[in-house]
Amino acid sequence: MTIDISGRTIGEAFAEAVALYADKPFLMAPPSTGTMRTISYREAAGEVERTAAALTEAGYGTGSRIAILMGNRLEHLILMLAFNSIGVSIVPINPDYRAGEVAYLLQDSASDLVIVEASRKDLVEAGVTESGRSVPIVVFESFDGAFPQRSGPSLAGAPVTPQTEASLIYTSGTTGRPKGCMIGHEYSLMIGERYLNMGGIGILREGAERIYNPLPLYHVNAMILSFFGALLSGNCQIAPDRFAKSTWWSDLEATGTTVFHYLGIIIPALLSAPPSDRDKMHRLRFGMGAGVEPELHKVFEDRFGLQLIEGWGMTEMCRVFVASEEPRQIETRAFGAGGPGREVRVVDGEDRDVPDGTPGELLVRHSEETPRRGFFSGYLNREAETEEAWRGGWFHTGDTVMRDAAGMVYFVDRKKNVIRRSGENIAAAEVEDCLYGDDRVAQVAVIMAPDEMRDEEVFACIVVKEGVTADAGLARALFDHCYKHLAYYKPPGWVLFVDSLPVTGTQKVLKHKIFADGTDPRDQSGVHDFRTLKRR
């Protein structure tokens, strides 16, 4: 039995989960966090009710947004449920952001309040100051049970519906600043339901799964996909601080993990450890993620005795694709097929369908009658961009794929100007904008370069202004400039000074012509490598 989500809000679904699974484990922190602890459904409900009551007393309700800046801790998820139960939308902030990035999110989201853990209070204060807004700050560890009164009219008691905004999640914008994806209650519950109905080897048993998700809670994967899947089926989500190879197997053993999530370096990192008698001494049923290299897929499954389910999804949609039924085609980049509520087209640059076996852009919709059902509600403050993404009644994903005659879809490449480093999407334009902030830079083009550990890395090709010496000292200074203003993973891992960049007649840089076809940019003479400096 799982919870029926039809016409329900998150608060209503959670209330039913508490009634059904009261004393079952709901949230768990593994030993690697310092103290292993478990919160039951009943215990979580008590915290949710107390927090929601305090927010209501302070005038928060449907139409409010509250930003939250925490690491991967269970309280993040408790607060989200409390917010959602009274119609408040959560705005999660990446803890690795710098003050300027925090300021932008506070400005764009118009958040009424920020809740922050003590260790990151200075960052939030600097962000609030830079934003120019007067946003109250609550330090989580010092919370006394009363929230600051909301500025403006009270919104307490306003109706909450399945279409009410539940979260505002920022994704890397392809043209610069991140875009806020407005996600409703219906989307959140539908993505959880999809998680429970992957089929094939991906069947989740009611009240029997322990789901270890080391991905950050400010992303849709851990905060919504696996979390609401667990909530709707009486299962438990385990939230480590982050992925750590050294504590992975001990965490899984101590928590009784049955399902785990992966992205980026997790699979190659686990394979890099020496083989051990413990490799198959686990309770794992399967792993779910994306981006495992085909040549590593079978190697991992054979060594550890479990199967990996490759999938595909976006923050903008809950139409998650998974290759969970045989033949999974693990020697390829197959990630699933279309189906009811998940209609697919593959098109060329003019939105014309291409034949099977031909690469093209992936377009998705729910159905002809209700194309946007279960998708995000739109990009905040960017109506034109929202409509452009939905032109012709299909959501344009920006990813290049190929479909075979049987309907299986294979990932080929990202059409968007985005670099994916260890599971993080980095907009090249945002890094370029930051580099242009140094007055010694005349032109810059940020591209992707392959990286054996991180999958992809940021590579900056820079033309300096006349009279400026392009040397190692300047390269380091430009890296430091980016590192100061951008989250640690965004600055260029490599910097290369070039005499010029190829451009069109309208002076648009032709990135694909910077290097000859088949050239690895890392092999160029004069490349400066800063990858080891990209640390939290």
Smallest Cα–Cα separation from 214: which of 171, 187, 246, 188? Answer: 246
> In the prediction, which pLDDT does 466 show?
87
| 272 lies in some domain | yes
| 230 lies in some domain | yes
d(CA 19, CA 270): 39
| 406 lies in some domain | no
Classified as helix, coil or strand, 499 is coil
Q: 336 and 304 in one domain?
A: yes
- b/e code 472-490 from CB counts within 10 Å (16+ = b): eebbeebbebbbebbbebb
Q: 451 and 332 in one domain?
A: no
66's tokens: 């509250």
Q: 357 and 328 in one domain?
A: yes
d(CA 89, CA 47): 18
- Looking at 366, 401, 436, the residue that finishes a domain is 401
> In the prediction, which pLDDT does 415 show?
64
Smallest Cα–Cα separation from 112: which of 148, 84, 161? Answer: 148
Q: Are 390 and 401 in contact (CB under 8 A)?
A: no
Hey, what's the torsion of the CAs at 29, 35, 36, 41, to 10 degrees? -60
Q: Which residue range is the domain that position 439 belongs to? A: 419-533
11's tokens: 């608060």
Smallest Cα–Cα separation from 212: which of 252, 169, 172? Answer: 252
Q: 145 and 42 in one domain?
A: yes
Cross-sheet strand order for the sheet of 528-529: 441-451, 455-464, 494-497, 528-529
> In the prediction, which pLDDT does 497 show?
97
pLDDT in tens, the chain (536 residues): 679 999 999 999 999 999 999 999 999 999 999 999 999 999 999 999 999 999 999 999 999 999 999 999 999 999 999 999 999 999 999 999 999 999 999 999 999 999 999 999 999 999 999 999 999 999 999 999 999 999 999 999 999 999 999 999 998 765 568 899 999 999 999 999 999 999 999 999 999 999 999 999 999 999 999 999 999 999 999 999 999 989 999 999 999 999 999 986 788 889 888 899 889 999 999 999 998 888 889 999 999 999 999 999 999 987 799 999 999 999 999 999 999 999 999 999 899 999 999 999 999 999 999 999 999 999 999 999 999 999 999 999 988 899 999 999 998 876 667 898 988 888 887 898 899 889 899 889 999 999 988 889 999 999 998 899 999 999 999 999 999 999 999 999 999 999 998 875 545 688 888 998 889 999 999 999 999 999 98
| 302 lies in some domain | yes
Burial of 301 (0-12, 13-18, 19+ CB in 10 A): middle
Largest CA distance in the chain: 72
Q: 438 and 383 in one domain?
A: no
Q: 70 and 28 in one domain?
A: yes
| 296 lies in some domain | yes
Q: Which helix (H) or strand (E) holds 477?
A: helix 472-485
Cross-sheet strand order for the sheet of 65-69: 137-139, 113-116, 65-69, 89-92, 165-173, 176-184, 378-379
- What residues pair up with 401 in beta bridges, in sequence order? 360, 411
Q: 430 and 349 in one domain?
A: no
CA angle 265, 291, 302 (to 5 degrees): 80
| 18 lies in some domain | yes
- Looking at 374, 401, 428, the residue that finishes a domain is 401
Predicted model pTM: 0.86
The DSSP symbol for 467 reads T
Q: Which helix (H) or strand (E) holds 37?
A: strand 37-40
Our count of domains for the chain comes to: 2
Domain CATH for 466: 3.30.300.30
- Looking at 336, 371, 401, the residue that finishes a domain is 401
Q: Are 374 and 185 in contact (CB under 8 A)?
A: no
Tens digit of pLDDT for each residue in 485-525? 999 999 999 999 999 988 755 456 888 889 988 899 999 99
Q: 97 and 230 in one domain?
A: yes
User: Which conformational region is residue 72 in: left (phi greater than 0), alpha (psi within -120 to 50 degrees), or beta?
Assistant: beta
Q: 425 and 342 in one domain?
A: no
Domain CATH for 71: 3.40.50.12780
| 383 lies in some domain | yes
Q: Which helix (H) or strand (E) holds 81?
A: helix 74-85
The DSSP symbol for 225 reads I
- What residues pair up with 361 in beta bridges, in sequence order? 347, 400
For 500, list phi and psi in degrees, rounded to 5: -160, 165
Burial of 469 (0-12, 13-18, 19+ CB in 10 A): exposed
Q: 328 and 387 in one domain?
A: yes
Classified as helix, coil or strand, 298 is helix
> How many C-beta atoms surround the C-beta of residue 291 within 10 A?
21
Q: 466 and 322 in one domain?
A: no
| 409 lies in some domain | no
298's tokens: 């079978």
109: CB partners within 8 A, 6+ apart: 65, 67, 91, 168, 180, 380
Task: Please tell me whether the peptide bond between 327 and the residue prior to it is cis, using omega within 30 degrees of 0.
Answer: yes
Q: 443 and 489 in one domain?
A: yes
Smallest Cα–Cα separation from 427: which of 127, 174, 214, 54? Answer: 174
Q: Are 484 and 101 in contact (CB under 8 A)?
A: no
Beta strand residue intervals within 233-369, DSSP E:
236-238, 259-262, 286-289, 307-314, 317-323, 334-337, 343-347, 360-365
